[in-house]
Structures are given as C-alpha cells and as structure tokens.
Amino acid sequence: MKIKIDQEGCIGCGSCQAICPDVFEMKGDDNKVYVKENEVDKAECVQEAIDICPVQVIKVEK
C-alpha cells in the first residue's frame, strides 16, 4: 500500500497526524502534512485518516 497526499489540497488541519502519527507528520513551516512511512501494510489508522480528512487529499495505491 502506498500513500499519497495531494500537497496542494492539504489545508494543514492536522487530523491525519493526530489519528495516525506513525504515518503522517507535519514538519516544517509550510503547514502541510508528509508521509513518514510510505509502505504500510496494516495501518488501520490510515483508513481512518482518509475518512477524516476534510478535503479528501489522502489516497492509497494498492
């Protein structure tokens, strides 16, 4: 599973990091979220983050 975030669309709300900090990380000053761990197998929180993202910019490729 490969996670992709559309950086342009991310509004930096921090929800994905709050729900799944092993995978998503807000670093730097640009208020965008980055993927820490791109190859994750059974991270249920990834799906929760996808569901909770208010602008739906988190995608996964299987």
Contact between residue 45 and residue 15 where contact means Cβ atoms under 8 Å apart: no
Of the candidates 51, 54, 49, 52, the one whose C-alpha atom is nearest the C-alpha of residue 34 is 49
Residue 40 in contact with ligand SF4, rule: CB under 6 A: no
Residue 23 in contact with ligand SF4, rule: CB under 6 A: no
Torsional sign, CA 44, 54, 59, 12: negative
Near ligand SF4 by CB under 6 A: residue from 12, 51, 59, 60: 12
Residue 15 in contact with ligand SF4, rule: CB under 6 A: yes
Residue 46 in contact with ligand SF4, rule: CB under 6 A: no
Instruction: Give contact residues for ligand SF4 (rule: CB under 6 A).
Output: 5, 10-16, 33, 53-55, 57-58
